[in-house]
Amino acid sequence: MMRPPRRWLVLALLAGPVLDAVVARADEPVAPLATPAGDPTAASALIEQGIDLRQAQRDAEALELFLKAQTIAPSPRGQAQVALAQQALGRWAAAEKNLKEAIAASDDAWIAQRRPILDRALAVIQSHLGDVHIAGAASGQVFVDGVRVEDEGALTHLRLEVGWRTIEVRAQGMYPVSRKVEVRAGEVDRIEIVQRPLLDDPTVTPPVVAPVVVKGDAGHAQRTLAWGLLGGAGLFVVTGVAGLIEHNVQANDFNANATCVHELTLTGQCATWYNNGSTAQTVEVVGFVGAGLFAAVSATLLLTAPSKPKTGTVAMPWSCTSTKGGALCGVSGTF
């Protein structure tokens, strides 16, 4: 039963309120167009009722009637109405699939008459979708935000609604792999999946690891530090001796000059001898004090360091036990 053209124009322009919220749901099952059966009159009546519900902004109820009509007598018109109702409900991926299939029936009179309007609706729907290519997944099932994707090609390609999505691949005998990706309108994102097998078979023999032989000397590091400090003490002694010699030279020159001894205010060469002597004396004190400190610390470390063991080796054999998800290895021996 056909309605007047004006009624159909109103119907085609009615897409319902566009929801910004993305609803992750599986596509509603729609019977193939190639196998029409049932009562077309009854299906058409359901479509008319669904149109009335859509005009009343009761899109969810209208969608149920359109889906029921498709189960009775599938048609491009009915599938287009399913897509437009899904668009109004924000189910973008399902709406795109159904509308593209409906538009593909280009020889249908109803589709041909409303093709420009349907194309514009499809463009709006596709502005809310993006593509994700999956690389590396050899087998398993794909879940998007916890919902299983029934599409056979989901292991390599997904058509998803925009926004952040969690993609998980689950395969028998493999660790699940999860990736979070931002789906952007009209763009293609690519994610890598690396599947690793579970090690849950107790009969799996772990790899044989050769025994490790080590030489133990717990006090080696402490003794090394002590000898290093002792060497530093020697450098301080050299510095102190050099300061002592220079101090004596400057003092002798100063004392040998009668003018320097009796002057109240030192000037000229006398001031130079005095200042150089004072600096050398400071170097002398620092050198001998530093040598004493370094020598004391070095002696303390040498005296408190653990005794060096007799020459020998300690064998530490490794042993492994297979566990779920891997192998647990440990080392045992006498220390």
Listing DSSP states for 144-194 in one string gives: ETTEE---GGGGTEEEEESEEEEEEEE-TTB--EEEEEEE-TT-EEEEE--
Higher pLDDT, 226 or 111: 111
Determine which helix (DSSP H) or strand (DSSP E) holds 220, and give its type and residue range: helix 220-256
Which residues form the domain of 55? 5-126
pLDDT at 140 over 50: yes
Do residues 121 and 136 both lie within one domain?
A: no
Q: How high is the pLDDT of residue 36?
A: 47
Residue 314 forms part of a structural domain: no
Do residues 116 and 139 both lie within one domain?
A: no
Q: How high is the pLDDT of residue 33?
A: 43
| pLDDT tens digits for range 153-183 | 889 999 999 999 999 999 999 999 999 999 9
Do residues 23 and 111 both lie within one domain?
A: yes
Which tokens go with 62?
Answer: 């209208």
> What pTM, to 2 d.p., does this model score?
0.47
Residue 285 forms part of a structural domain: yes
Residue 312 forms part of a structural domain: no
Q: How high is the pLDDT of residue 25?
A: 38
Min mean pLDDT across 10-14, 49-53, 86-90, 253-257 is at: 10-14
Query: Residue 111 maps to which CATH number?
Result: 1.25.40.10
Do residues 35 and 105 both lie within one domain?
A: yes
Positive or negative: CA dihedral 315, 321, 322, 328 = negative
Residue 318 forms part of a structural domain: no
Mean pLDDT across the stretch 262-279? 77
Say how many domains are in the chain: 3
Residue 315 forms part of a structural domain: no
Residue 139 forms beta bridges with which residues? none
- Cα separation, 62 vs 57, in Å, equals 9
Higher pLDDT, 237 or 80: 80
Do residues 68 and 167 both lie within one domain?
A: no
Closest Cα partner for 85 from 1, 162, 18? 18
Higher pLDDT, 121 or 3: 121
Do residues 71 and 135 both lie within one domain?
A: no
Do residues 290 and 243 both lie within one domain?
A: yes
